[in-house]
């Protein structure tokens, strides 16, 4: 197996593990209640599309999410889910586009972890500088020291890999 292939497999594995770690609920109840009060209601169309993707109509769900995002380019939930599904299907260029869109819209409010996904996606694509920039931006806004330390480890790993090339 070539070194590049091994690196891509390692990065993809690390991405999956990190995604699982990030998806574990970690918002304090008071903050969660505050966020919930700011959101008037869950976008039923987005939820329906996500259920389609996770159910027996994945392509129709993806098309519905794309349609939602086309009609409302600032629909952060649709962009977030499309980014997640792009990673799942190995479409890293598309994932990078979606997570950049989430970061632009969100500014770290609801989906700060989009910066980590963006960084991992750039790392997978071999864009080390962009990956490090995304990780560093995440470190600036994240309060959880354990997550910050993990992201710092990702930066160190990128630096080691870039010196080995």
Using one digit for the tens of pLDDT, what is the confidence trace for 36-92?
A: 443 333 488 999 999 999 999 999 999 999 999 999 999 999 999 999 999 999 999
- The length of the chain in residues reads 165
Stated pTM of the model? 0.72
Tell me which of 20-34, 82-96, 105-119 is least confident. Answer: 20-34
Q: What's the confidence (pLDDT) of residue 11?
A: 55
- Asked if the model's pLDDT at residue 136 lies above 90, the reply is yes
Closest CA to 103 of 116, 88, 120: 116
Question: Is residue 140 predicted with pLDDT exceeding 70?
Answer: yes
Q: Using CA atoms, how far apart are residues 19 and 107, in angstroms rounded to an integer?
A: 19
- The pLDDT value recorded for residue 161 is 84
Q: Mean of the pLDDT values across residues 13-35?
A: 49
Which CATH superfamily is 3-164 part of? Tetratricopeptide repeat domain (1.25.40.10)
Beta carbons within 8 Å of 76's beta carbon, 6+ residues apart: 102, 105, 106, 110, 111
DSSP state of 41: S
Among 138, 22, 137, which Cα is nearest to 84's? 22
Higher pLDDT, residue 161 or 29: 161
Owner of token pair 């505050």? 34
- For residue 46, what are the contacts with CB-CB under 8 A and spacing of at least 6? 65, 68, 75, 77, 78, 81
State the DSSP string of 111-128.
-TTHHHHHHHHHHHTT-H
pLDDT at residue 107 in the model = 84
CB 65 within 8 A of CB 49: yes
Query: Is 102 within 8 Å of 83 (Cβ atoms)?
Result: yes
- Which tokens hold the place of 89? 């299907």
How large a percentage of the chain has pLDDT more than 90?
A: 65
Rounded CA-CA distance 162/148 in Å is 21
List all residues 6 or more positions away from 21 whose beta carbon is below 8 Å from its beta carbon: 147, 150
């Amino acid at each position: 197996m070539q070194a590049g292939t091994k690196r891509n497999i390692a990065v993809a594995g690390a991405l999956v593990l990190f995604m699982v770690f990030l998806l574990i609920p970690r918002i304090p109840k008071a903050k969660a209640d505050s966020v919930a009060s700011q959101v008037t209601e869950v976008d039923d169309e987005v939820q329906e599309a996500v259920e389609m993707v996770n159910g027996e109509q994945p392509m129709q769900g993806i098309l519905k999410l794309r349609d939602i995002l086309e009609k409302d380019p600032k629909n952060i939930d649709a962009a977030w889910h499309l980014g997640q599904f792009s990673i799942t299907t190995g479409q890293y260029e598309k994932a990078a586009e979606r997570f950049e869109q989430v970061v632009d819209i969100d500014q770290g409010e609801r989906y700060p972890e989009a910066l980590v996904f963006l960084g991992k996606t750039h790392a997978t694509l071999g864009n080390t500088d962009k990956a490090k920039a995304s990780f560093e931006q995440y470190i600036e806004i994240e309060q959880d020291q354990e997550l910050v330390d993990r992201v710092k480890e990702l930066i160190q790993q990128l630096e080691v890999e870039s010196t080995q090339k």
